[in-house]
Amino acid sequence: MDRPSTALPAGPYAGRFVDGVLAFVTAVGVLAGTARFGGRLDEAGALPLALWLGLLLLGRRRWPLTVLVLSVQAVLVFHTSGLTDTGWVWPLSVAYATLAADDRPGRPGLPWAVGVGLVELAFAATWLTTAGGATPREALASLGAEALWLAALLAAATAYRNRLRWRAELDERLLRAARERDLEAGRRIAEARLDIARELHDVVGHTLTVVGLHLRVAAEALDDSPQEARTALATAQQVRTEAVRDLRALVHVLRAPGEDPVEHPAAGVPEVAALVDRMRSPRLDIRLATSGDLTALPAPVSLAVHRVVQEALTNTARHADASRADVTIRYGAGHVAVSVTDDGRAVAPDAPDAPEASAGHGIRGMAERVRALGGTFSAGPRGTHEKANDETGDGWLVRARIPVPGFRP
Q: Which residue has the higher pLDDT, 344 or 337?
A: 337
Give the max Cα distance, the chain.
134
Domain that holds residue 73: 12-180
User: Does the pLDDT of residue 108 top 80, yes or no?
Assistant: no
**Among the three residues 180, 207, 233, which one is the final residue of a domain in this structure?**
180
| Residue 141 and residue 275 in one domain | no
Total domains present in the chain? 2
Residue 42 lies in a domain: yes
155, 286: one domain: no
Please indicate whether residue 165 or residue 339 has the higher confidence score (pLDDT): 339
Last residue in a domain, options 145, 163, 180: 180
Question: What is the C-alpha separation between 11 and 21, in angstroms, rounded?
Answer: 15
pLDDT at 271 > cutoff 90: no
CB 340 within 8 A of CB 397: yes
Q: Write out pLDDT tens, residues 196-211.
A: 777 777 667 667 777 7
Looking at the fold, whether 38 and 158 belong to one and the same domain comes out as yes
In a domain, 220, yes or no: no
Pair (159, 41) in one structural domain: yes
What is the residue type of 39?
G
The answer on pLDDT for 97 being more than 80 is: yes
End-to-end CA distance of the chain: 53
The per-residue pLDDT for range 78-93, each reduced to its tens digit, is 878 777 777 888 888 8
pLDDT value of residue 249: 66
Cα Rg of the chain (Å, integer): 43
Average pLDDT value for residue range 326-348: 86
- Residue 39 lies inside a defined structural domain of this protein: yes
In three-state secondary structure terms, 391 is coil
Going by DSSP bridges, is the β-strand pair 103-104/324-332 parallel, antiparallel, or unpaired? unpaired
Taking the C-alpha atoms of residue 295 and residue 61, their distance in angstroms, rounded to an integer, is: 74
Are residues 140 and 32 located together in one domain of the fold?
Answer: yes
Burial 361-400 (b: 16+ CB within 10 A, else e): ebbbbbbbbbeebebebbbbbbeebeebeeeeeebbbbbb
User: Given pLDDT bands bounded at 50, 70 and 90, which one contains residue 389?
Assistant: very low
pLDDT at 341: 93
Residues 121, 143 contacting (CB under 8 angstroms): yes
> Rounded mean pLDDT of 133-158?
82
Calculate the CA 259 to chain-centre distance: 28
Q: Which of 172-176, 266-270, 400-404 has the highest mean pLDDT?
A: 400-404
- Which range, 18-22, 218-222, 315-319, 376-380, is most confident? 376-380
Q: Is residue 18 part of a domain?
A: yes
* Predicted pLDDT of residue 284: 85
Specify if 396 maps to a domain: yes
328: CATH: 3.30.565.10
Q: State whether 27 and 167 are in the same domain.
A: yes
pLDDT, position 363: 84
Handedness of CA 141, 142, 144, 149 (dihedral sign): positive
Lowest mean pLDDT among 123-132, 157-166, 346-355, 387-396: 346-355
Establish if 127 belongs to a structural domain. Answer: yes
3-state DSSP: the chain helix, strand, coil percent, rounded to 5? 65, 10, 25
Q: What is the mean pLDDT of residues 111-139?
A: 82
Q: Are 375 and 391 in contact (CB under 8 A)?
A: no
Confidence of residue 11 (pLDDT cuts 50, 70, 90): low
| Residue 7 pLDDT level (bands cut at 50, 70, 90) | very low
pLDDT, average across residues 28-39:
74
Amino acid identity of residue 271, one-letter, is E
In terms of pTM, does the model score above 0.85? no
Q: For 324-338, what is the mean pLDDT?
A: 91
User: Apex CA 117: angle with CA 111 and CA 9, to 5°?
Assistant: 55
Band (pLDDT 50/70/90 cuts) for residue 4 is very low
CB under 8 Å to 173, separation ≥6 — which residues? none
236 falls within a domain: no
Confidence bin at 357 (pLDDT 50/70/90)? very low
Query: 175 and 301: one domain?
Result: no
Is the same domain home to 67 and 168? yes
Q: Say whether both 35 and 175 belong to one domain.
A: yes
Indicate the range of 158-167, 320-329, 354-363 predicted with least confidence.
Answer: 354-363
- Residue 267: count of CB within 10 angstroms of its CB: 23
pLDDT band, residue 251 (cuts 50/70/90)? low
Using alpha carbons, select from 393, 328, 396 the residue that is nearest to residue 360. Answer: 396
Across the chain, mean pLDDT equals 77
For residues 409 and 313, membership in a common domain is answered with yes
The answer to the question of residue 256 being in a domain is no
Together in a domain, 298 and 397: yes
- Which H or E run includes 291? strand 285-291
Q: Which of 180, 205, 235 is the last residue of a domain?
A: 180
Confidence of residue 334 (pLDDT cuts 50, 70, 90): confident
The three-point CA angle 167-169-103 to 5° equals 80
Q: What is the DSSP letter of 318?
A: I
pLDDT over threshold 50, residue 3? no
